[in-house]
Structure 1
């Protein structure tokens, strides 16, 4: 039989604190984790309040570290990061406020590097075909079309 272990309220509270200490979490992740414990709504609210009051759960800190991590480690663009944060139900205002975590020069450098790396791997196509494939790739990484065309323009000017 698939029997779930039952925990006391204090044990659950401690488990949720540990869950938040291990890595920054958003409210949605914490609420999903609490579903495992079959808590009554009042208990969930009390635990959420405790986690926020003790600064285990901080949506702005989560958003800032998420943006930094996804950009600097995975080279995601702003659009992809924004969409993933929306999926985690982070408020739009907070997302916009936290995008200052990405330095504009770093953003342009990363985009340029991704462009050059990707386009250099494509063999046997005309330049416009290579550009088309590369644009699709960079859009899928979450970069803005205007930013991508700027990199293409800059690269074309360098060649001349």
Structure 2
């Protein structure tokens, strides 16, 4: 292992220790530092072995955080994880971070909060805006209509 690879491992370990990262984010950063090909893969393998890099852990913390902090729905979280190269088993594990009861409750809270900011005489217009808002947050249309159904 060359000194440049050891240096890259040290820098990448600090990069990963700051916050959870995906392999692709580390690859991109290594490229910025001028580390390519086999050297880059060696750095990534070492980071995985030392548990600095763990895509399942990244996916779980990303999904849980975006749901709890930003109120994102499963569709939006899934889309963003796929853009970061997360799929299959890790994606499934991330979705398990979102409890079904919490999911529906969060959607209900978001819609109630949004309703307070809407002012229109026509209830259909308000419902349409609420549906559009919830869809933009990444919630499934059948769940949205189920929550709004009592209106």
Q: TM-score, normalised by structure 1?
A: 0.88
CA contact (8 A) 2:64 2:94 kept: no
Higher CA-based Rg: 1
Could you tell which deviates more after superposition, 23-32 or 89-98? 89-98
- Deviation per CA, 1:88-126: give whole Å up to 9, x if none: 011134212321101111111110011111122111231
Matched residue SS, 2:43:
helix
What CA distance in whole angstroms lies between the structure 2 residues aligned with 1:133 and 1:92? 34
Runs of 5+ consecutive residues of structure 2 not aligned to the other structure: none
Q: TM-score, normalised by structure 2?
A: 0.93
- Deviation per CA, 1:64-110: give whole Å up to 9, x if none: 00001100011000000000001001113421232110111111111
Match of 2:108 in 1: 112
| Aligned residue-pair number | 149
Runs of 5+ consecutive residues of structure 1 not aligned to the other structure: 1-6
CA contact (8 A) 1:86 1:92 kept: no
Moved over 6 A (4+): none
Matched residue SS, 2:110:
helix
- Deviation per CA, 1:118-151: give whole Å up to 9, x if none: 1221112311110001100110000110110011
What CA distance in whole angstroms lies between the structure 2 residues aligned with 1:114 and 1:40? 45
